[in-house]
Amino acid sequence: MPTYKITISGQVQGVGFRPFVYGLAKSFSLTGTVSNNEEGVIIFVTGPKISIQQFYKKLLQNPPPVSKIKNSKILEVENMEFADFNIIPSVKSGQINLPLTPDFAICDDCKKDIQNLENRRYNYQFTTCVNCGPRWAITQTFPFERNHTTINDFAMCDECKKEYLNPLDRRFHSQTNTCHTCGIRLILIDKMGNTIPTTSENIFKKIAKLLSEGNIVAIKNTGGYLLCCNAENAAIIKKLRIKKNRPNKPFAVLFPSMEFLQNDLKINELQHKSLTSAERPINIIPLGNYKGKIALNAVALGLNQLGAMLPYSGILQLLANELNFPIIATSGNIHSSPIIGNNEEALEKLKQVADYFVQHNLEISHPQDDSVVKFSAKFNQKVFFRRARGFAPNYFDIQINSEEKVMAMGADLKSSIAFYPNQYLYVSQYLGNLENFDVYNRFTSTVNSFISIFEQQPEVILVDKHPLYQSTQFGKELAQKNKLKLVEIQHHKAHFSAILGEHQLFSEKVLGIIFDGTGYGEDDAIWGGEFFDYEANKIERINHIDYFDWLLGNKMAKEPRLSLLSLTSDEMMEVLKDKFTQNELKTYQSLKKTNKLKTSSAGRLFDAVASLLNITDYNTYEGEAAILLENSIGLYDLKSYRSYLSAPKKGISGTEIIKNIYADLKSGTAKKTIIINFLYTLAFAIIELAKTKNYKQVAVSGGVFQNTVLADLLIALAPKEIKLYFHKELSPNDENISFGQMMYYLNIRQ
């Protein structure tokens, strides 16, 4: 009988692929072996040719639920005889050339196990199987085998070994298999480090009681610490805000169950699917006629939306089983610092925040924040706000043909790195703002971790053109130290390249709209409202939001009133009087007259509108003014709105927009109407420019396009002959810059 070698690549390690292949081969009475190697899964099968063909077809059509097959090959080889079909240990003979496995949310079967009194894993918080559990969080190297993870510190007991070796068991070759007897220990301590006596039977009851009594509890989850408190208790949430130094930014809320969530919030089918997916991200959901007991004004100050999530680990599920109220579940850090994964660091840095700590003795190699998504109200356009747990560090839908090993350092504000060391592209989880020392350390350790895991040094380093970016400086130092090729790429061209890369538009003619807060321009101005042409591997800037004064450096991004001052004409001076002292006004007006630094920033235009409408004059977190603007809209109908530009085909004048908004404000037009008019103006100008210049493909990127109303307006206004492209697997914000730098370097003629 013939023997065939089958090679499967993609997300096929740590997902139960080998046990699945074993069971399938047995069902077709085939003999052979299956193993992992540095490139994926390798299968040898001997048997009737027709049986092997059917086996191969079924394998590709119905793979394990959390696997993602990218490539497969079947090739007849010299005949091999096998006594049976077996899973054999992985043999690594070269560098890693396969996707890294992300973390998966607890599956329904494991959820049943931990809730079943008769099951030996009843109340065991680290219950996992081949279909779920931490992966990237505990990875030290690949291929994905137990001895390449931090869970290797816990030797399997006899019962776990039986499951591991039993082909009929769901935990057959489950690399994260543990139980009460041999597994990870959970302890409860106070902020002084004193142990609170508990047992596995009552620890979650105790934690739930502490939360109900108004305590803040830092819980070490599978991907890092979460700071938790009762979401119905406004006083304790306010206390958490003060201690975490997070005055206004909304908190995510963990609901005990989908039933509880649906009693409080109205969700659609896409949101339901997202909330219960293997990735289990936070979903930003409109509140509508909310009737629950959450202290909304404390959780999401003045907002008409809520970041909602469901339990995604055994720890959170067992806690949820004891709760009859939702809880805040925010990243375990001080505001703007990275999420903490280490016990000692958590106690040291969070003891001024948390009253109690839930700790365990599993080491977390790669701490990650929760991912965040939102679906637009009218057209369900999916927008990533943060790409981390469950999605990182892979990027699948890309075909790259390059001999060079390339690493992209990304931006500074919402940093990530991208690495192309083999046939796959890896984009790290969201890392944070590199101005924070701890985030910078996490950034550099992630760079080193990627180099170590793949055992490959980059040959090319890509950086942003901004000379003061921490990522740029680090990239330059790395290139200089190792004598590597260094390439600087303009920020907004990287954004445009990211959206071109996501949709593989490099053979098309495309109009690119890149709207964000700031980026170092090629003419020494601060860019942020850019129109690009892409054709034949070249990017050309063809238009931009009309320049206005950039005042007081980074202070302008934190004070929307400064953007308003910059865009205000002399006849509008009255709107500034209550926003500045006389001294400030005199100084800033004088500065405005002599200022030479200009900007085209769409983000600052949003700030100016928010200030003019007295929504906010100060941003306490990045993008606050824009979020509050969108929040003020509610339901709307396209038919009754108009543009604030007299000649939208020619471009966008922030000065004209502000002048016309001021006129509407004076005439008593409702704020909601003004905001829709403003967003309509931007969408209308984009579509008109595309029509005027005969573009059939329009691609958008930049943090401004996290505004889902703007996305819906673009979709509504675009005629049939114009196709719009939004990011689908990446955030439109600066998280995509590393990916965009990679796409620019590999596809654009510099």
Name the band, by pLDDT with cuts 50, 70 and 90, for residue 67.
very high
Tens digits of residue pLDDT in 559-588 = 999 999 999 998 899 999 999 999 999 999
Residue 62's CB is within 10 A of a number of other CB atoms, namely 10
pLDDT at position 395 over 90? no
Q: Which is the catalytic residue, given 36, 37, 230, 422? A: 36
pLDDT at position 222 over 80? yes
Lowest mean pLDDT among 248-257, 496-505, 641-650: 641-650
Residue 224 φ/ψ region, left for φ over 0, alpha for ψ in the -120 to 50 degree band, beta for the rest: left
Q: What is the pLDDT of residue 277?
A: 97
Residue 235's CB is within 10 A of a number of other CB atoms, namely 12
Q: What is the pLDDT of residue 578?
A: 93
On average, the pLDDT of the chain sits at 95
Tens digits of residue pLDDT in 290-348 = 889 999 999 999 899 999 999 999 999 999 999 999 999 999 999 889 999 999 999 99
Q: Which is the catalytic residue, given 18, 135, 280, 604? A: 18
7 secondary structure, DSSP code = E
The token pair at 252 is 């995510």
Q: What is the pLDDT of residue 616?
A: 97
Give strand pairing partners of 283: 308, 373
Q: Contact 650/546 with Cβ under 8 angstroms?
A: no
SS3 call for 363: coil
| 620 φ, ψ (degrees, to nearest 5) | -90, -15
Question: Based on C-alpha coordinates, what's the Rg of the chain?
Answer: 27
- Cα(368)–Cα(283) distance, rounded to whole angstroms? 17
Is 116 an active-site residue? no
Q: What is the pLDDT of residue 92?
A: 66
Q: Set out the domains of the chain in order of their start, with CATH numbers.
A: 3-87 (3.30.70.100), 186-370 (3.90.870.40), 387-500+738-743 (3.30.420.360), 514-727 (3.30.420.40)
Q: Contact 283/309 with Cβ under 8 angstroms?
A: yes
Q: Contact 71/38 with Cβ under 8 angstroms?
A: no
Q: What is the pLDDT of residue 369?
A: 97
The token pair at 626 is 């824009």
Tell me the angle at which helices 602-612 and 671-692 cross, rounded to the nearest 10 degrees.
Answer: 150
Tens digits of residue pLDDT in 732-749 = 999 999 999 999 999 998
Tens digits of residue pLDDT in 420-479 = 998 889 999 999 999 999 999 999 999 999 999 988 999 999 999 999 999 999 999 999
pLDDT at position 397 over 90? no
Is 241 an active-site residue? no
Name the band, by pLDDT with cuts 50, 70 and 90, for residue 220.
very high
Tell me the angle at which helices 470-482 and 437-454 cross, rounded to the nearest 10 degrees.
Answer: 40
0.85 exceeded by pTM:
yes
- Cα(124)–Cα(654) distance, rounded to whole angstroms? 58
Q: Contact 188/196 with Cβ under 8 angstroms?
A: yes
Q: What is the pLDDT of residue 200?
A: 82
- Cα(533)–Cα(689) distance, rounded to whole angstroms? 12
Q: Are strands 31-37 and 40-46 parallel, antiparallel or unpaired?
A: antiparallel
The token pair at 711 is 């996305």
Q: What is the pLDDT of residue 93?
A: 64
Q: What is the pLDDT of residue 219?
A: 98
